[in-house]
């Protein structure tokens, strides 16, 4: 099983879409193993978006992420990193495919509803950045054999 980080961005909190977006991941069959509301700091965001630090929009993107608290969550499943990225859709909501979260809920590059880890390696680093190990739970959902065949897990 893989674990991946999703952040419901301030635009999602402000638009009252928290429940709807969480529901998309739940309905897919991903298992929620950690979730909390937190107000991000510029320092943490500088680490999180370090790959963008040379871009002209670096500060703008960081500032947008701390206009209000966000929801950080950890989702678990087989190939969860790729499954979540596929659900999220392309970065730019305007050309993200319909059926994806960004395609269905966003008209913006910046205000694009969710952050999702882009590789297993990144997911591990990001989960340890946003969660204490004690905030992530180990459990088997009771519907596990309706989610997967026994040779998949
Ligand atoms: N972003 C932006 N303008 C750009 C590229 C990215 O505002 O031209 C923002 C956008 O909110 C995006 C975030 O920076 O989600 C991180 O960018 P990345 O390239 O990692 O995209 P993602 O992995 O979120 O699809
Ligand atoms: Mg990214």
Quick count: other Cβ atoms within 10 Å of Cβ 53? 10
What pTM was estimated for this model as a whole?
A: 0.98
Query: Per residue in 91-139, pLDDT tens?
Result: 999 999 999 999 999 999 999 999 999 999 999 999 999 999 999 999 9
115 is catalytic: yes
* Structure confidence at residue 65 (pLDDT): 99
Q: Which of 112, 115, 126, 131 is catalytic?
A: 115
Nearest CA to ligand 1 atom 25: 91
Structure tokens given for 69: 């608290």
Q: Is the separation of the CB atoms in 77 and 83 below 8 Å?
A: yes
Give pLDDT, residue 146.
Answer: 98
Pocket test for ligand 1, best of 9, 52, 59, 91 (most atoms within 8 A of CB): 91
Give CA–CA dist 86/123, Å, rounded. 15
In the structure, which protein residues have their CB atom closer than 6 angstroms to any atom of ligand 1? 52, 57, 61, 91, 109-110, 112, 115, 118
Quote the ligand 2 centre to 49 CA distance (angstroms).
Answer: 8
Residues 6+ apart with CB under 8 A from 21: 8, 12, 101, 105, 113, 114
**Cα–Cα distance for residue pair 37/7, rounded to 1 Å:** 10
* β partners of residue 31: 76
């Amino acid at each position: 099983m893989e674990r991946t980080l999703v952040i419901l961005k301030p635009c999602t909190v402000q638009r009252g879409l928290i429940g709807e977006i969480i529901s998309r991941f739940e309905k897919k069959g991903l298992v929620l193993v950690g979730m909390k509301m937190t107000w991000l700091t510029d320092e943490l965001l500088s680490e999180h978006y370090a790959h963008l630090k040379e871009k002209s929009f670096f500060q703008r993107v960081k500032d947008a992420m701390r206009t209000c608290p966000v929801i950080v969550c950890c989702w678990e499943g087989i190939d969860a990193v790729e499954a979540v990225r596929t659900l999220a859709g392309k970065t730019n909501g305007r050309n993200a495919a319909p059926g994806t979260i960004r395609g269905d809920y966003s008209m913006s590059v910046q205000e694009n509803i969710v952050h999702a880890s882009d590789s297993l390696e990144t997911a591990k680093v990001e989960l340890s950045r946003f969660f204490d190990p004690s905030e992530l739970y180990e459990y088997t959902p009771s519907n596990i054999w309706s989610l997967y065949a026994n040779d998949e897990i």
